[in-house]
Structure 1
Amino acid sequence: MFQSFRHHHPRQYPAPGNETTHYQIFRERFTDVVTNNLQTSPTFTVGINKFSDWAPYELEVLRSNRPPSSTARTKLIAMHSFGTQQTSSSSKRTNAPTSTTSTTFDYTTRVSALNSSTHIIGPLRDQGQCGSCYGFAIIALFEAQYAFHYGLPVNMSDQQIVDCSTHDYGCIGGYFDTSFDYVKSYDWYIDSNLTYPYKGVASTCSAKKSGGYSIGNLIYRHLTQGNASAMQDTLVNYSPLWMSLFETNAANKIMTTFQSYTDDIFQASGCTTSANNNNHAMVIVDSWGDEWGENSYVRIARGVNMCNVESDAFLTAKPAS
């Protein structure tokens, strides 16, 4: 089975001659998959995927998003809160439902009100073995804003954030606010992924400010921590959100289980202090490629701050003129 797995997911191991170690890891993950899926009433299923032979230190790279410090968070809320710098009326979706109590709202199928062929959610990505999720996430927000306001499909450069946002850490993590501030300092310009493609490693900044996209002045807001209703209202009436998971002391076992996720509503004991509620979920797109989860998406329990998903959420929008 392991050889079949390696044939389907070929890669060079970090250290020569340690195939035996990764085989043992694979066996442990396989046992975990069987155990989880044989539970009496599992709320989600897991399976073998490209992460099934990754060592813990390799998996750690994938969760290297860095939430802002409490000091930085206080500063950014004061500077960018909608309470002090209001969004323009065009930031609110004119085609949004009139009620936020609707049972479903799905950005994966939504298109721009200006162009029905332009999807709000851009192309799916795979960050590889680089801890660049922070960059992928903020680029996805900028692409959504571009689709909202211009009705045009875009493919912006994730690599530009990895290479050029000097207050982030390349392939070992980064922050929302520093990535945002970099783009602001670069005159709100992002190169195209075609001219500045993703490499999966941090390199010297090669941004050219040509052949890309001028996204226009934006502001951002950090939503109230743990407020699922605010997140729901924002998603329905404004835009997708930048969110982080597992930013505090979630056990490695839980994260490993998450990286084996295949479908249904993810919730894990030990990853929340609230009662489970598997009837409500939000859909999150990750940057691990379309072979992970539900074609790169995961449904995660809503309203219980599952694995801190409701602790650090950011919205971008156009300011009032």
Structure 2
Amino acid sequence: MKLKLFSPFKISNITLKNRIVMSPMCQFSSHEKDGKIQDWHLTHYISRAVGQVGLIIVESTAVTPQGRISDKDLGIWSDKHIKGFNKLSRMVHHQGAHIGIQLAHAGRKATVDGDIFSPSAVPFEKMKTPIEMSKKDIKEVIQAFKDGAVRAKKAGFDVIEIHAAHGYLINEFLSPLSNLRQDEYGGTKIKRYRFLKEIIDAVNQVWDGPLFVRISATDYHSEGNSVNDYVEYAKLMKNQGVDLVDCSSGAVLNIKPNVYPGYQVKLAEEVKKRATIMTGAVGLITSGLQAEEILSNDRSDLIFIGRELLRDPYWPRVAADELGTPIDGPNQYDRSWSWKIRYKHLD
């Protein structure tokens, strides 16, 4: 029986060749504040496709210029961004991988020039104080996510992930620690969810592929959201047609969690089982054995790899060797890639 990590996985209208996902990780490598793809991004992402990652999710990509974490973030607020992303998606597809994009808005964590925005005028730590968003501002950002989804489709992406984690704008609306509003977008759990709800609805109007949402499944604070709250949010997302919840944690406040291998996996497991929705596990997953255990024990459906794929673009091969199973690689590397060739003396 084939190991789960290297088994095909159908989600919505696509089938991934394995369950290894490159987690979205900011590269801060765009030039001239234009948000466009650079040669670095092509090298960075395509090398992981060559390395046999099943799904590559492009880093946090801003839906508005003011939604960037930094001036060097990728953007998708203009049709001028489509050409570069289209080249990237075609080259990734040529290597047999699927590709997604994480649509994002940094909210009060934006470090760009000019005004920044948040559900409430509460700064993050000692950063710039944001402007509390008006209803007009909210509607404009929702439209920006919808427009970003249209451009993502034109650029050839297979998956969209909405970034609702790590203390950025959507996460700021969800958390009572950063959302002090008393209108229809704040004051209760269901009202704090309304912003994300309307973004999901808007994206679904123009997108017909797999839709993921990345969450911070706990705020690590007694007065913030816990995994229990996100189980309820995940049920709402499922009812809206979200296919998978990507379970990260923290960063609404500058609280450092106790970090250890797989420290966030239990969050993905709880959301998966209690909300009956597919989840992605992320957080110091470093070995093939660890990844296979998570999948085989039905704790999550996909394995999101971050730092290990920064260290080694060919991590899937390393994981396969560890698990004692062959995986296909590029023909150009066949003389050194094949498990059977490398270990034929063990036959």
TM-score range, shorter chain: under 0.3
Greater fraction helix: 2
TM-score normalized by structure 1? 0.25
